[in-house]
């Protein structure tokens, strides 16, 4: 099969870290569509091309397959997972093709886009959603992670753009929801990227966080259920939110309007609330910091990402001192790690030295799949659960679930 043109679908495999052409095979199924992810026919071809060799590394290999990584020489980002990744990928692809032939629909197990709204597929015969079936195909079980004693409200903030705030919010939320947690994502960014990733309507005029902040509408009136993932909800943002920074200025208690809205929302049925902030330290971000008990800071493994960190931490200190004494930086996540550069390793080492145990052990690598997933209205967890980005976010979410499980957010 020749390489499919699009955004990122590989026409090659990575064997021992060196690109080599994939063996040609007849295409079974329709031609690729969307932004490059293949349909069932191409998935079957890839499964055939992989063969039985455990040494084959494709784009879905967990971690950095070649060269030393932060977990140790040859282990990649997630260490022990790397050796098991190819077998997991083959099992998931085989299960996907099997389900497709029995159901007569698109591939559910690989979470590949289908015709129509781009969803991952119909629920499996066992009653699991397509996303849950995909994860079960990779892990061999549908694990449930520990849940906090009461709802944890976590603000994901960094005034630098492009460090992975929205990507982190979306994929942590999806990972936790697929493992038994009940999660609400509040999209506080006027760009509405988290709403896009969840395929939630957020055109101008749609009831959104803007109406909650500026017009005092109840939060329950705008929250939407995310299709395809049970117990996952999203409060969408629209472009109207761009004017909220100015419109909030003359309002009473302008810094605590989101906190008041969350206090009026029944969080007893939730385990996590993630607040996705815009790339600024304006009133929207301050509202998010006042509403939360925890701050999660994604840090890109590049030098520029460190320059603005001091200003963000100073803002957190000011909010803690004057508006929200419960606030603390509970988690730092290293994102966009590129194992080919010495700088990425140096940045990761310096962040760990300075912040210690606050930094999550898992590092998120650069991944084409992570970038592709939102174009189909999905998280990478459902789009391609076997990819390095999905596996890294699953590991990071597991750490979030394991640490501070008793942390709570008073109503």
Minimum mean pLDDT range among 27-36, 232-241, 289-298, 372-381: 27-36
Write down the domain spans for the chain. Answer: 12-139, 152-402
pLDDT score at 328: 94
What is the pLDDT at residue 236? 95
Average pLDDT over residues 178-202: 93
Q: Where are the beta strands (DSSP E) in 318-407?
A: 328-335
pLDDT band at 139 (very low <50, low <70, confident <90, very high): low
Beta pairing partners, 335:
300
Pairing of strands 56-57, 152-156: unpaired
- Per DSSP, the three-state class of 343 is helix
152-402 sits in which CATH class?
alpha beta
pLDDT at 254: 92
Average pLDDT of every residue of the chain: 73
Q: What is the reported pLDDT for 127? A: 55
From 318, 299, 321, 317, select the one nearest 308 (Cα to Cα).
299
Q: Which DSSP helix (H) or strand (E) runs through 333?
A: strand 328-335
Strands (E), 201-327: 224-225, 232-235, 272-276, 294-300
The more confident residue out of 74 and 190 is: 190
pLDDT at 76 over 50: no
Average pLDDT over residues 80-109: 41
Residue 86 has pLDDT above 50, yes or no: no
> Residue 130 has what pLDDT?
59
If pLDDT is split at 50, 70 and 90, which confidence band does 144 have? confident
| Mean pLDDT score, 322-334 | 94
Measured CA to CA, the distance from residue 304 to residue 167 in angstroms comes to 19
Nearest-CA neighbor of 312 among 264, 266, 277?
277
Provide the Cα torsion 147, 330, 300, 190; round to 10°. 80
């Amino acid at each position: 099969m020749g390489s499919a043109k699009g955004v990122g679908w590989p026409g090659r495999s990575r064997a021992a870290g060196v690109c080599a052409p994939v063996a040609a095979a007849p295409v079974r199924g329709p031609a690729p569509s969307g932004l490059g992810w293949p349909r069932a026919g191409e998935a079957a071809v890839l499964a055939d091309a992989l063969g039985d060799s455990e040494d084959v590394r494709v784009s879905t290999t967990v971690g950095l397959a070649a060269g030393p990584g932060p977990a140790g020489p040859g282990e990649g980002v997630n260490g022990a997972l790397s050796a098991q990744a190819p077998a997991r990928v083959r099992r998931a692809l085989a299960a996907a093709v099997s389900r497709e032939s029995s159901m007569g629909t698109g591939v559910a197990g690989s979470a590949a886009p289908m015709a129509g709204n781009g969803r991952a597929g119909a629920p499996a015969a066992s009653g699991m959603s397509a996303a849950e079936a995909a994860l079960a195909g990779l892990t061999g079980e549908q694990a449930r992670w520990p849940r906090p004693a009461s709802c944890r409200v976590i603000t994901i903030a960094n005034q630098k753009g492009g460090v992975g705030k929205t990507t982190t919010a979306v994929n942590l939320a999806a990972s936790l929801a697929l493992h038994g947690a009940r999660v609400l994502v509040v999209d506080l960014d006027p760009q509405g990227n988290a709403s896009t990733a969840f395929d939630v309507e957020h055109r101008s005029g749609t009831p959104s966080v803007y109406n909650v902040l500026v017009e005092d509408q109840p939060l329950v009136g705008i929250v939407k259920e995310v299709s395809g993932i049970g117990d996952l909800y999203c409060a969408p943002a629209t472009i109207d939110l761009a004017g909220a920074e100015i419109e909030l200025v003359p309002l009473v208690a302008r810094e605590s309007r989101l906190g008041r809205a969350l206090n009026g929302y029944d969080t007893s049925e939730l385990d996590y609330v993630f607040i996705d902030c815009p790339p600024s330290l304006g009133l929207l971000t301050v509202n998010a910091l006042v509403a939360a008990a925890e701050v999660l800071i994604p840090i890109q493994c590049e030098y520029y990402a460190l320059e603005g960190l001091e200003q963000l931490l100073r803002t957190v200190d000011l909010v803690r001192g004057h508006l929200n004494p419960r606030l603390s930086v509970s988690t730092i996540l290293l994102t966009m790690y590129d194992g080919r550069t010495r700088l990425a390793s140096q940045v990761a080492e310096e962040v760990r030295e300075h912040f210690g145990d606050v930094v999550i052990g898992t590092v998120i690598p650069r991944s084409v799949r992570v970038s592709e997933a939102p174009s189909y209205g999905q998280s990478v967890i459902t789009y391609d659960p076997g990819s390095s980005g999905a596996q890294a976010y699953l590991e990071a979410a597991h750490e979030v679930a394991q640490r501070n499980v008793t942390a709570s957010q008073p109503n």
